[in-house]
Structure 1
Amino acid sequence: MEFLDVQHNTALVIASIVVALVAGFTGLTLSKDLSTKSVARRKVSIAMSAIALGGGIWSMHFVAMLGIQMPILFFYDAAITLASALLAILIVGTALLLLHFRERTPFTLSAAGALVGCGILAMHYVGMAGLQLCRAVYTPLGILLAVVSAVGLCIAAFWIAYGRRTNRNILLGTLCFGSAVSAVHFAAMAGTNFVALPTLHEFGPVMSNETLAMGVILSSFVIFGAFLWMGVTFFAPTAGEAAQQPIAAQDSKASPPVPAPTLATVRIPCEHNGVTKLIDPAQVAFVQAEGHYTNVFTKDAKHFCGWPITEAITRLEASGLIRTHRSYLVNPAQVNDFERLKDTGVCRFAAPHLPPVPVSRSHLKGVRDVLGI
């Protein structure tokens, strides 16, 4: 078996790495602060993030592939090439849904990172299967390096970017994601040889490098446009940060700010048989996460609420409810007794039908301080 001599265009190699970094920044920034948004807006933002990240994986790969120079003419199968892009977007979207609609635990972060790593690998090898008039021959070492770099760096990217959703962490996560995409491609290519084939094995229409270049230019234009859009507002303070700015920093000549709504206007919408009942937070004993939704417990009954636990936290902490656990909010005025269990605890209520609520180690001190224990 005679292998073909392969060269790489340095400028396109550098361009492919830039595309990966830009896509990583855009995708991770688009999914920032989603806990404060409605479910519909979160889904739209996740879809856009998936397109940015998945499309960036695809664009990086084929920008680098455009830089490959071989002594033969070769083409790409359009159907397989398109399938590789859609596969990357779908897998990345699944990982983002896991992060934003499930409890964000160390396992969830690792699973999402591993899933994106698998998406990068799937996109790479499916995309390579679309080559016509030549065939890629892989080495075990090249595949092993690609797998380890993809999964390891993607897990690191999600642990960093989602550990704390700060600008610094998003930038560090971007570097990890860009490195993962680039490392998969170049580690795999370092262990890949090519042999010429005499005939086409078409699954779909065949396209040349020139046609592929048009698709890559279009996808890169969209990604860079989104990058500029997100970059303009990246360092702007969020609503929470703006609220913490000292009043002295405001323009003394400006109109006085509109007063914030009073706590009495905060009501919890609970649904039953098509009717939405608005419950005063003062009547609530505790709120419990239930998948994408929450259960609201009062002294009389258990109610269903369409808010996810993240939205309940955002809306109800100002009303005096406190977090005792990643899945629970408790009204301290309703707590009847507290029991310390080594480095955790339990809150109990006077109503006999109300179950006890766990207090995790990370929230133990805050709960004890609020209860005056």
Structure 2
Amino acid sequence: MLPVTWDSVLICVSLIVVFIASFTALDTAGRVAVSRGWSARFWLLVGGIAMGIGVWAMHFIGMLAMMMPMMMRYDTRLTILSLLVAILASVLAFGQTVGGLHLTRQRLLSGTLILGAGVVVMHYLGMYALLIEPQPEWNALLVALSVLIAFAASGLALWLAFHLRQGRSSSDADAWAGLSGHGHRHRRYALCRYGGSRVQPQQYDAAARRQ
């Protein structure tokens, strides 16, 4: 199995990015509460886009922080697709939860399912966009656990976003939303390993150059 190390500077950058995105999304949630009509729809769109870009950027910067003794490149189309999935899921989930007058269990559940599914699809699209041979080997049990955590973190973020618009303090909400997303990303990276024990790093370099 190839050794994996992490660029601590990029990890810190990804943490800063997710906190900024969380603040932006949660701040726009408060603006939704005092807006009507097209103005409210505009802020819902802005908040959803901010959340989607933030989640995706945190994930992609985290992937750039991952260092292995091999050439690493990314499929542009899959990378862009993962970004679009994150934005679409975030906009839909944001509108489903923050856009209502009351956050019922049904609205929270549907928003959680949308955002959680979007985060999971975005993550694995991003992982498969990494052009290496062979593809990572996944631990099925831990993958299933990570999916459950993704949905739980998504539900928490949406619940916080709604309650911010009710006038509660945003500082704790920013911290919880940021940490839940950042912590979950690192748990997902622990679910796979790259390469078998009998494959040498030089073989990976040669395979990557042929991509």
Pairwise TM-score range, normalised by the shorter structure: 0.7 to 0.9
Corresponding residue number in structure 1 for 2:131: 132
- Distance, in Å, in 2 between the alignment partners of 1:14 and 1:172 is 19
Letter in 2 for 1:86: L
Q: What does 1:235-246 align with in structure 2 at a 5 Å threshold?
A: none
Distance 1:26 1:39 in 2: 21
Q: What does residue 93 of structure 1 align with?
A: 91
CA distance in 1, matches of 2:141, 2:14: 23
1:43 correspondence with 2:41: yes
The residue that corresponds to 1:105 in the other structure is 104
1 CA distance for matches of 2:189 and 2:168? 33
C-alpha contact 1:84 1:124 (8 A) present in aligned 2: yes
Residues 299-357 of structure 1, C-alpha deviation per residue, up to 9 Å, x if partnerless? xxxxxxxxxxxxxxxxxxxxxxxxxxxxxxxxxxxxxxxxxxxxxxxxxxxxxxxxxxx
Aligned-partner residue type, residue 108 of structure 2: L
When residues 111 and 65 of structure 1 are mapped into structure 2, their CA distance, relative to the original with a 3 A threshold, is: same
Q: Kindly indicate whether the alpha-carbon contact (under 8 Å) linking 2:94 and 2:158 is maintained by their aligned counterparts in 1.
A: no
Residue ranges of structure 2 left out of the alignment (5+ in a row): 196-203
Q: Quick one: distance in 2 between partners of 1:121 and 1:171?
A: 27
Q: Which residue of 2 aligns with 1:232?
A: none
Question: Where does the alignment leave 5 or more consecutive residues of structure 1 unmatched?
Answer: 203-373
- Aligned letter for 2:191? G
Aligned partners of 2:29 and 2:161 also within 8 Å: no
The residue aligned with 1:53 is 51
Give the secondary structure class of the aligned counterpart of 1:151: helix
| Matches of 1:173 and 1:110, distance apart in 2 | 19
Q: CA deviation at 1:101?
A: 4.7
Contact 1:133/1:200 (<8 A) preserved = no
* Correspondence for 1:150: 150
* Residue pair 1:153, 1:179 contacting (<8 A) in 2 also: no
User: Quick one: distance in 2 between partners of 1:92 and 1:154?
Assistant: 10
Partner of 2:198: none
Which structure is richer in relative contact order (CA contacts within 8 A, separation 6 or more)? 2
Does the alignment pair 1:186 with 2:195? no
Q: Distance in 2 between matches of 1:96 and 1:161?
A: 8
CA contact (8 A) 2:31 2:43 kept: no
* 1:220-249 C-alpha deviation (Å, 9 max, x unpaired): xxxxxxxxxxxxxxxxxxxxxxxxxxxxxx
- The equivalent residue for 1:65 is 63
How many Å separate the matches in 2 of 1:167 and 1:87? Answer: 30
Alignment match, 1:79: 77
Equivalent of 1:30 in 28, 44, 52 = 28
Take 1:21 and 1:145, find their aligned partners in 2: how far apart are those partners? 24
Match of 2:8 in 1: 10
The CA deviation at 1:30 is 1.2
1:273-311 deviation digits (Å, cap 9, x = unpaired) = xxxxxxxxxxxxxxxxxxxxxxxxxxxxxxxxxxxxxxx
* Seq. identity, %: 25
Q: Distance in 2 between matches of 1:146 and 1:201?
A: 33
What is the one-letter code of the residue matched to 1:95? A
| Superimposed CA distance per residue, residues 97-124 of structure 1 (whole angstroms, 9 cap, x where no aligned partner) | 2121575312212321332222221111
2-side partners of 1:144 and 1:174: how far apart? 27
Which residue of 2 is the match for residue 161 of structure 1? 161
Q: Is the 1:160–1:172 contact (alpha carbons within 8 Å) kept by the matching residues of 2? A: no
Displacement after TM superposition at 1:51 (Å): 1.5
Per the TM alignment, residue 199 of structure 1 is displaced from its structure 2 partner at its CA by: 5.7
Letter in 2 for 1:137: E
Shift of 1:10: 1.6
Structure 2 counterpart of 1:198, one-letter code: A
Q: Is the contact made by 1:19 and 1:56 (CA closer than 8 Å) also made in structure 2?
A: yes
8 A Cα contact 1:50 1:92, kept in partner: yes
Tell me how many residue pairs correspond in the alignment.
199
Instruction: Flag the 1:39–1:173 CA change in 2: closer, same or farther, 3 A.
Output: same
Deviation at 1:167, TM superposition (A): 4.2
Q: Which has the greater radius of gyration?
A: 1
Equivalent residue runs for 1:188-207 within 5 Å: 188-195=188-195, 196=204, 198=207
Maintained 8 Å contact 2:76/2:129 = yes
Q: Which has more helix, going by share of residues?
A: 2
Q: For the aligned residues, what is the CA RMSD?
A: 2.3
The answer to whether the 8 Å contact 1:143/1:188 transfers is: yes
| TM-score, with length taken from structure 1 | 0.49
1:172 is displaced (CA, Å) by: 2.9
CA drift at 1:160: 3.3
